[in-house]
Copies of this chain bind each other. A is one copy, B any other.
Amino acid sequence: MHPALRKHFEELVKLTDAEYEHIAPCYHLKKFKKHSILLQPGDVVNHEYFVLKGLLKTFTIDDSGKEHILQFSMENWWVSDYMALHTNGKSSFIIQCLEDVELLYISFDDRQRLCDELHQFERFCRLKITSGFVSMQKRVMALMKNDAQSRYQQLLEQYPSLFQRVPKAMIAAYLGVSRETLSRLHV
């Protein structure tokens, strides 16, 4: 088992060494160069990815060509198109590497099998997705309630390192504001 992944599990659940040995072969290492596309609209989604190194963005492009960023994913984050993954459907997002990236990926079938076989593995999945749910709720409330300035401030406080790693235009596409609005903020 990759030590970063094992550490990540150990933060939430108790698994024995034998169980880690059982889980380990389901995760496979893959490296991607900066700008590589992991998923694009229409792709069948059957993997979940754990980021060991690097940064990715999950986004869509609307009819007018404007980019909308759902998520940035950095070290120790999970990424996939979860709607497609759980409905056996096709991706509606683009997932792209913003840096050279190292990932561990697991197939949906292996993930389901591990959920069946190991109660603690299912617990881990439940707790992770619960955190994701709560984050998305916060994001919905921030989009409705907060102006661009406070959304920017909130993101800066939560993920200061992100601002060193991605250009301003992408921060704007994540916050749901125009580049012009962003450049007018007191940042």
Indicate how many identical chains form the complex.
Answer: 2
User: Taking chain A's interface residues, is the majority helix, strand, or loop, or is none over half, making it mixed?
Assistant: helix
Residue A107 interfacial (CB < 8 Å): no
A29 to B145, CA, bound (A): 34
Per-position contact with B for A103-132: 1 when CB-CB < 8 Å, else 0? 000000000000100010011011001111
**Residue in contact with A141 in the complex, picked from B70, B86, B130, CB distance below 8 Å:** B70
Ranked nearest first, the 5 interchain pairs of A and B with the lowest CB-CB distance are: A136-B136, A126-B126, A144-B176, A133-B133, A143-B143
Q: A residues bordering B, Cβ < 8 Å?
A: 60, 62, 68, 70, 82-83, 86, 115, 119, 122-123, 125-126, 129-134, 136-141, 143-145, 176
